[in-house]
Amino acid sequence: MEYLDALKYLYFKRPYGKIKIGLYRIEELLKRLNDPEKNYKCFHITGSNGKGSTTTFLHYLAKNHGHKVGGYLSPHLSSILERFPINGKYISKERFLNAFKLVKKQSEEMDKKGKEFSPSFFEFATALAFEIDKEENVEISTIEVGLGGRFDATNVIIPEVSIITTVSLEHTKILGNSLEKIAYEKAGIIKENRPVVIGNIPKEAKKVIYGIASDKNAKVYELGKNFDYEVVKYQFGKNIINYYGDTTIKGFEVNLNGTHQPINAAIALKAYELFEKIDVNNTFAAFKEAFIPGRFEMFNGFLLDGSHNPQAAEKFLENLNIYFKNASKIALFGILDDKDKISVISKLIPEFEHVIVTCPPSHRAINCLETYNLVKDFSKSCEFIDDPLQAIEKLKEMKADLKVVTGSFYLVGFIRSYLENGYIDEELELMRR
């Protein structure tokens, strides 16, 4: 089986984005694979925002402290290989295919039991991540939750540390329509006698987390209470931060941009401190090297950011004010149908002199004209171009100090690849179907 054939199988036979609640499928699938996730230690990270960056920081901390480290990230921007980093690098297509064939064989055995037992795309990909890490003989893996926590397919591991970065209203149809309900789902990753690190959590959500942690005898380490950080300087691509925990680390440079990244860095450092003693020089190297695309990233003349919920939109605006306060700004904007469109649009859109609304390359973005009509209510000037490639070409021609692509990681990944290569490769074309 070739690489593209494997992707077609994943996207169309294991429908991308289809959510199946429950852990019994992933538990059976992993058992059939001889429980690969039990071969190494793990960090487990959830949160409404910041989980991807925090996972990445932990990955590079482990790498720079001399460990062979695996991981699992989602969603991917341009290639599915992004989901399975080994020491900060993509795995080869050959390694991917080796693990894919094993997972496919066992998934198809489960398919025979009926649709209820058929693994979803995310369950299949999660099993892939665990199998790849086993085959790579990693010592530790940094595992990002896909959605929520309690019933997420990743919630089969017993981590060294569980991490909850933030709690805000998101995926309310699945996770619940209150902060307490969402906190309950995210706190589902807390395990017996394993420490928990939390970021800036609203009071009502924090109460839920502390209650569940108490029931499981899991000690909570809270930002601002048990550890803290200080921003020395915000400078694009070179943000200087101090950390105060068991170890004090002053003046380290964080390559990732945004006012939220010092928080994510502090959370990652506290979690890593609970795993092993931190070396200051290794920490400096880790944060200088850590990189994740599409998070307030300047790429080929465009600022790329996948702000897709109200909290992320607020942070994005805060970052614009710090790094690009007096710049004239225009944007390419697209958002998925299952997001809180009105909240994101009402926060983001007034910031721009002109907005081009387009369709992210996803089956979850079919009501793009509805999005455009919402944008019109909040924009100074806007237009609708259905095709994102035509839309980015139009944005290229326009004049402004800052050109932004935002609203969806699917859109950001698609445009980033196009800006890098000048064309859309076969893998990305599959995302458009």
DSSP character at residue 89? B
CA contacts within 13 A on the Cβ side of 165: 31
Structure confidence at residue 425 as a pLDDT band (50, 70, 90) = confident
pLDDT in tens, 87-97: 999 999 999 99
Enclosing H/E stretch for 94: helix 93-111
Structure confidence at residue 150 as a pLDDT band (50, 70, 90) = very high
**140-144 and 69-72 strand pairing:** parallel
Taking 80 as the threshold, does the pLDDT of residue 431 lie above it? no
Structure confidence at residue 21 as a pLDDT band (50, 70, 90) = confident
- Percentage above 70 pLDDT, the chain: 98
Structure confidence at residue 118 as a pLDDT band (50, 70, 90) = very high
Structure confidence at residue 326 as a pLDDT band (50, 70, 90) = very high
Gap between the Cα atoms of 267 and 58, Å rounded: 9
Domains (range + CATH), the chain = 3-289 (3.40.1190.10), 297-431 (3.90.190.20)
Q: How far is CA 430 from CA 42, 361, 367, 389, 414, in A?
A: 32, 9, 20, 15, 11
CB atoms within 10 A of CB 170: 22
**196-198 and 69-72 strand pairing:** unpaired
Gap between the Cα atoms of 5 and 10, Å rounded: 9
Structure confidence at residue 17 as a pLDDT band (50, 70, 90) = low
CB 52 within 8 A of CB 73: yes
Q: How far is CA 15 from CA 22, 123, 300, 362, in A?
A: 17, 11, 33, 12
Range 161-189 average pLDDT: 89
Q: Which residues pair with 141 in a beta bridge?
A: 42, 70
pLDDT in tens, 350-369: 999 999 999 998 877 888 99
Cis peptide before 361 (omega within 30 of 0): no
State the first-to-last Cα distance of the chain, in angstroms, to the nearest integer: 21
Q: What is the pLDDT of residue 16?
A: 62
Quick one: tokens of 311? 């909290």
Taking 70 as the threshold, does the pLDDT of residue 432 lie above it? no
Give the position of tokens 């094993």.
102
pLDDT in tens, 241-281: 999 999 999 999 999 999 999 999 999 999 999 999 999 99
CB atoms within 10 A of CB 38: 13
Gap between the Cα atoms of 134 and 206, Å rounded: 35
